[in-house]
Structure 1
Amino acid sequence: MGRKVEEVVEVLVEPIANRNGLELVDIEYSKEGQDWILRVFIDKKEGVSLDDCQSVSRELSDILDKKDPIDKTYLLEVSSPGIDRPLKKDEDFIRFSGRKVDISTYAPINGEKKLNGELLGIDEGNIKLVVDGEELNIPREKVSQARLAVEF
Structure 2
Amino acid sequence: MPHPLIPELETLAGRACADLGFELRQVNLLTHRIPMTLQVLVQRGDGQDISLDECAALSAPLGEAFDAAGVLDQETYILEVSSPGVGDELREDRDFRSFRGFPVAVRFTDRNGAEARCEGLLLERTASELQINMRGRTKRIPRASVLQVLLVAPSTGT
TM-score by length of 1: 0.73
Report 1:103-142 matches (<5 A). 103-105=105-107, 113-123=117-127, 127-132=130-135, 133-137=137-141, 139-141=145-147
Correspondence 1:38 to 2:41: no
Give 3-state SS (helix, strand or coil) of 1:15's partner.
helix
User: Can you list the C-alpha shifts for 1:127-146, whole angstroms capped at 9, x where unaligned?
Assistant: 433323122216233x2x51
User: How far, CA to CA, are the matches of 1:36 and 1:58 in structure 2?
Assistant: 18
SS of 1:134 mapped into structure 2: strand
Q: How does 1:1-152 map to 2 (within 5 A)?
A: 2-44=2-44, 45-71=47-73, 72-82=75-85, 84=86, 86-96=88-98, 98-105=100-107, 113-123=117-127, 127-132=130-135, 133-137=137-141, 139-141=145-147, 143=148, 146-147=150-151, 149-150=153-154
Gap change, CA 1:113 and 1:36, over 3 Å in 2: same
Q: Give the percent of matched residue pairs that are identical in Structure 1 and Structure 2.
A: 19
Shift of 1:79: 1.3
Per the alignment, in what secondary structure is the counterpart of residue 100 of structure 2? coil
Residues 70 and 27 of structure 1: is their aligned pair in 2 closer, same or farther, counting only changes over 3 Å?
same
In the superposition, relative to structure 1, how do residues 118 and 89 fare at CA in structure 2: closer, same or farther (>3 Å)? closer
Task: Report the structure number with the largest CA radius of gyration.
Answer: 2
Unaligned runs of 5+ in 1: none
Deviations 1:86-136 (A, max 9, x none): 134233444336332321527789x96341222311535x54333231222
Report the CA distance between 1:60 and its aligned residue.
Answer: 1.1
Q: Give the deviation of 1:149 after TM superposition.
A: 4.9
Pair 29,88 (structure 1): closer, same or farther in 2 beyond 3 Å: farther
Deviation at residue 14 of structure 1 after TM alignment: 1.5
Check the 8 A contact 1:2/1:30 in 2, yes or no.
no
TM (normalized to structure 2)?
A: 0.71
User: Paired residues, what number?
Assistant: 147
